[in-house]
Amino acid sequence: MRRISLLIFVALYVVSCTTDELPNPIDHQLQKRLEAIAPDGNLDYFILPSSEDLGKIPAGVGNPLTPEKIALGKMLFFETGLAKDAMKSSGEGTYSCASCHLPTAGFMPGRIQGIADGGIGYGLNGESRSIMNDYEENELDAQGARALSLLNVAFVTNTTWSGKFGAHHANENTEYAWDEENGNEVNHLGLDGLEAQNIEGTQLHRMRITAGWLDTLGYTDMYNAAFPDFPEHERYTHLTTSFAISAYLRTLMADQAPFQRWLQGESDAMSQEEKAGAMVFFTKAGCYRCHKGAGLSSVEFHAVGVRDLYQTGGFNTGPDDKRNFGRGGFTRKQEDMYKFKVPQLYNMKDSPFYFHGSSHHSLHSVVDYFNDGIPENEVVPEENISKYFHPLNLTEEEKEQLVKFLEKGLYDPYLERYVPEEVLSGNCFPNNDPLSRVHLGCD
Ligand code: HEC
Ligand code: HEC
């Protein structure tokens, strides 16, 4: 007996000595774990390319990435001058794509819902935007779900929460649903999600894309530089505009986040607590089962039973809004009902309105929700809820570590590199209504 305990004592001593000798055992553990779950066994699976490294960024079908297209898209995305097809004259020239996808809010709206045409005000980070006096609720451009983040969107082959845009990947064999009712006939062009969606997007968001108007704003030369291969009569169109904006969006990588720097070998880029949180994310908490690859996203659809925007106070939406049905709203299949695309997880801290219905307002609350594993939306039938959504039994310490990983480890502090110095109209951006102009310091 005594001999055995002595042996155990010696063994423990040896083990503790060897671990002490390693500079930081958790780095080693985390690396091993990531290699184990990467399909190719390689850390590269989790690494975001730099926005400059165009050869490494996934390009869309028919839309190779060029610096000229990206430079053009970078301006058009923020160009309030395009807001020419507003519902009322008071809305003209006041909004842009970035009204709902704010760089300072992780390319999300900074409030429960984005408002473009008919919106007024900005606040510090989008939070003060509300409805213009002379607009009715049903005249607003406010969509029935929280705007998705556009970070790391190059990895999203099929866009929107339902994945309805894009002709390939998840949408193979869904041709029957590419129709007017789903508003995605554009899929018949055979493009990927981004390039397809953004053809529709400028129209949906009441922007004027004509050769004449683009010229008035000063963009003709930039289109000429970006699309020299397009005959002139096809050069200033919704298609080329989408190609330019999509090329820009594909460069929006959160590659300066501490977790990314750690993956590239900078072992002290993350604190001990963030590393522990990463371990929780990639082991016990099971987050990695759905949040995958470099963007920690996937073009897979799961129901985690969260509430819809009409239940949390959004404009212009209700129980019958097709967006509430997720993938099922697009495919019309019972088994797809209430399943939503798995979103990316970088820079979540900047817009504290989580899930498609903005039903949670802090990352602590999101972690508690997954840890409790109890669906909050009674409308969602139990059989549709993902089998990975169940109580996780995380300790208080593990929850805290997980939150730290999300808040800090997955936070790129330099997103201003994706914002242009100016747009060619010379307008204020991302918003240009009188109140936003004051908030943004343009007046
Ligand atoms: C009124 C607010 C609003 C404006 C303006 C807006 N968006 Fe969005 N955006 C949204 C919402 C809401 C979603 C999610 C829609 C859905 O799932 O049905 C979204 C989703 C997207 C997505 C899909 C991302 C993904 O991961 O699937 C892309 C791409 C996108 N928007 C690009 C743009 C571009 C480009 C513009 C300008 C032409 C624009 N948006 C203007 C609200 C807006
Ligand atoms: C069953 C697959 C699945 C698992 C497991 C999972 N997620 Fe998610 N996650 C999703 C889906 C799907 C959404 C979007 C749901 C919606 O809005 O309807 C989401 C949304 C989120 C969001 C909000 C993103 C946004 O844009 O609003 C965060 C943050 C998040 N998950 C973190 C986590 C963490 C942390 C874990 C582990 C504790 C986890 N997820 C586990 C599928 C999953």
Residues 6 or more apart whose CB falls under 8 angstroms from that of 18 comprise none
Ligand 2 in reach of 303 Cβ (< 6 A): no
Q: Which of 80, 94, 130, 143 to mutate to test the pocket of ligand 1 (most atoms within 8 A of CB)?
A: 143
> In this predicted structure, what is the pLDDT of residue 24?
86
The verdict on the CB of residue 109 being under 6 Å from ligand 2 is: no
Q: Residue 22 has what pLDDT? A: 56
> In tens digits, what is the pLDDT along the chain, a chain of 443 residues?
455 555 555 454 444 444 444 568 999 999 999 999 999 999 999 999 999 999 999 999 999 999 999 999 999 999 999 999 999 999 999 999 999 999 999 999 999 999 999 999 999 999 999 999 999 999 999 999 999 999 999 999 999 999 999 999 999 999 999 999 999 999 999 999 999 999 999 999 999 999 999 999 999 999 999 999 999 999 999 999 999 999 999 999 999 999 999 999 999 999 999 999 999 999 999 999 999 999 999 999 999 999 999 999 999 999 999 999 999 999 999 999 999 999 999 999 999 999 999 999 999 999 999 999 999 999 999 999 999 999 999 999 999 999 999 999 999 999 999 999 999 999 999 999 999 999 999 99
User: How much is the pLDDT for 4?
Assistant: 55
Residue nearest to atom 9 of ligand 2 (CA): 342
What's the pLDDT at 188? 98
Query: Which amino acid would we find at residue 9?
Result: F
Distance of CA 161 to the CA centre of its chain: 10
Measured from the Cα of 143, ligand 1's closest atom is 12
Distance 160 CA to ligand 1 centre (A): 7
Distance CA 357, CA 142 (A): 13
Give the residue, out of 291, 307, 327, 340, with the most ligand 2 atoms within 8 A of its beta carbon, to mutate for a pocket test.
291
d(Cα 370, Cα 354) in Å, to the nearest integer? 12
Backbone φ/ψ region at 167: left (φ over 0), alpha (ψ -120 to 50), beta? alpha
Count of CB atoms within 10 A of residue 215's CB?
13
Place of tokens 């704003």: 217
* Residue having the nearest C-alpha atom to atom 11 of ligand 2: 342
Sequence-separated (6 or more) residues with CB below 8 Å from residue 438:
none
The whole-angstrom separation of Cα 97 and Cα 114 is 10
Residue whose tokens read 């995380």: 394
Please tell me the number of the ligand nearest to residue 358's CA.
2
Ligand number with the minimum distance to the CA of 399: 2
**Closest protein CA for atom 8 of ligand 1:** 147
pLDDT of amino acid 10: 47
355: CA distance to ligand 2 center in Å?
8
Give me ligand 1 centre to Cα 343, in Å.
Answer: 13
Give the amino acid at 109: P
Residue pair 104/91 in contact by the 8 Å Cβ criterion: no
Q: What is the CA radius of gyration of the chain?
A: 23
What whole-number distance in Å separates Cα of residue 120 and Cα of residue 277?
Answer: 39
User: What is the Å distance from ligand 2's center to 366 Cα?
Assistant: 8
Q: Ligand 2 centre from 23 Cα, in Å?
A: 33
Pocket test for ligand 1, best of 205, 238, 297 (most atoms within 8 A of CB): 205
252 lines ligand 2 (CB under 6 A): no
Residue nearest to atom 2 of ligand 2 (CA): 290
Mention every residue, 6+ apart, whose C-beta is less than 8 A from residue 421: none
Residue ranges lining ligand 1, Cβ < 6 Å? 97, 99-101, 114, 116, 141-143, 145, 147-148, 150, 153, 156, 159-161, 194, 197-198, 201-202, 205, 245, 249, 323
- Tell me the CA distances in angstroms from 24 to 18, 20, 21, 404, one per residue in order: 11, 8, 8, 19
Using the mean position of ligand 1's atoms as its centre, give its distance from the Cα of residue 197 in Å: 9
Nearest protein CA to atom 26 of ligand 1, as residue: 159
Take residue 227 and report the two structure tokens written for it: 């699309």
